[in-house]
Amino acid sequence: MSDRPGRGHSGTPRRIPEATVARLPLYYRALVDIAEHRISTVSSERLAELAGVNAAKVRKDLSYLGSYGTRGVGYDVEFLLHQISRELGLTRDWPVAIVGVGNLGQALANYKGFGARGFRIAALVDADDDKVGREVDGLAIEPIRALPEIVAERQISIGMIATPAHVAQEVADLLVAAGVRSILNFAPAVVAVPDGVSMRKVDLAIELQILSFYQLRKGGPARRRDRAATGAMDVEEGLEQGLDGLHQGMAG
């Protein structure tokens, strides 16, 4: 791993395309799996398979980070894992605040998949005074008027909006005013943020509508279901053993 050819400066080596950034977490996840199997080297082809993308894309994506592979051999799993972690900021602690502790907010607070990657729920905030003081997963719900102090004192960098749609913009404004620069919006509403603030949105209803669009073009929901010609029997034969596996594994 000799130093990168070209500018070996502490800043960004190259500009990483947005599409690549969105795939880095997939590679990260695949690499964690591989590392757990005590495998020390992985090819772009194998990594592509595990991440559900194509091999050329993997190579090009990884080349944006630097020349971390060895021709004829592949990528060192641990080293690549470290590089991607560093690039994504997964070596740090990222305190997160959840605004709106309804169904979704509670589910997010209880979700165990975050902490492992360094995303730690550091605050639960709600405007409903009846909810304030209640605990969810060991964390007390706090009033939204305390947001500025909470954000400042706990160094909160990411805010999640899990409120009804009609207050999403107000909540976003409050988060921005408090100093939050990254927002993940779960409310089904268009939310604008000023320059310098990142916003991503997750909208379940939209995903369903996209699915229903394509399902319509397949013959609609009422049409008689004919087996897909390819692979139907394979899947069906795997059904029994699938059930066995599920009973052990699926904890919800």
Radius of gyration of the chain (CA): 22
Stretch that binds its own copies, among 39-47, 56-64, 69-77, 229-237 (CB under 8 A): 229-237
The answer to whether 37 contacts its own copies (rule: CB under 8 A) is: no
The Cα-based distances of 54 to 15, 48, 51 in angstroms read 21, 5, 9
The answer to whether 69 contacts DNA (rule: CB under 7 A) is: yes
Contact (Cβ atoms closer than 8 angstroms) between residue 79 and residue 68: yes
Eight-class DSSP state of 233: H
Closest to DNA by CB, 60 vs 92, is 60
Closest to its own copies by CB, 69 vs 100, is 100
Q: Is 31 helix (H, G, I), strand (E, B) or coil?
A: helix
> Using CB under 7 A, which residues numbered 39 to 68 contact DNA?
42-45, 53-57, 59-60, 62-63, 67-68
The answer to whether 74 contacts DNA (rule: CB under 7 A) is: yes
Q: Of 145, 91, 101, which is closest to residue 124 (Cα–Cα)?
A: 101
**x-marked contacts with its own copies along 103-122 as a string, rule CB under 8 A:** xxxxxx-xx-xx--xxx---
The Cα-based distances of 119 to 5, 8, 182 in angstroms read 33, 30, 13
The answer to whether 93 contacts its own copies (rule: CB under 8 A) is: yes
**x-marked contacts with its own copies along 123-162 as a string, rule CB under 8 A:** ---xxxx-x------------xx------x--x-xx---x
Residue 156 CB neighbour total at 10 angstroms:
22
Supply the minimum distance, in Å, between the C-beta of residue 23 and its own copies: 9
Q: Which does 13 bind (CB under 5 to 8 A by kind): DNA, its own copies, none?
A: none
Distance CA(179)–CA(173), nearest Å, equals: 10
Closest to DNA by CB, 26 vs 178, is 26
